[in-house]
Amino acid sequence: MFITCCPLILASASPRRREFLTRLGLEFSIVPAAIDESCDPAESPWNFARRMAATKAKAVAETKPAACVLGADTVVALDGRIFGKPKSPEEALAMLTTLQGRTHQVITGFAIVARTRNIDEVGAVTTKVTFGTFAEPILQAYVASGEPMDKAGAYGIQGIGSFLVDSISGSCSNVVGLPVHAVVRALLDRALLRAE
């Protein structure tokens, strides 16, 4: 459906982001960025997501100046606190327990860097997600499935974790890991993408 106007590189190893780009019919390569993903305690989730996306894209663009590099970073936030990927099943359960019955934000920062075209753009999209409430054994069973362990906020809306979600307001693809509408619009506006 779409064709890139210069080599496209995804600066992420995320299988979900890769799947989105593949569905659009894009040809691209994957070069995960090796960066420090530490969060400054004073940094807002919005700023953190944008900074991580930009840092990833710029790190890869340094070695691939002729390419268009797409970086992205997704965070789950509640009351200004970032919920990253859980480090243990216990942490995953604690995250899910905290999030249930409440509305949190999923923020995906994205960056598009094309050095030879002088393009350096950063954006972010926020989606509000409201969880239902479940008894602890149900949350424990979900954690035991293993799905929460590589997901920000300890759940995957595109998988088993969809049962947790009562409602969403905003982009669904953003919750999965890439605000497809915003990214495609940015690529089209910068003449980095065209319809085939």
Which amino acid appears at position 104 of this protein? H
Q: Kindly report the CA angle at 148 between 50 and 15, in degrees rounded to 5?
A: 60
Which residues, in sequence order, are CB contacts of 63 under 8 Å at separation 6+?
none
Q: For residue 27, what are its two tokens?
A: 């040809």
- Check if the beta carbon of residue 93 is closer than 8 Å to that of residue 143: yes
Residue 150 known to be catalytic: no
Please give the Cα distance from 151 to 47 (Å, whole number).
20
Which amino acid appears at position 108 of this protein? T
* Alpha helices in 5-44, H assignment, sequence order: 15-23
Please give the Cα distance from 121 to 190 (Å, whole number).
10
- Check if the beta carbon of residue 60 is closer than 8 Å to that of residue 90: no
The catalytic position among 36, 40, 73, 166 is 73
Please give the Cα distance from 1 to 18 (Å, whole number).
16
Known catalytic residues? 73
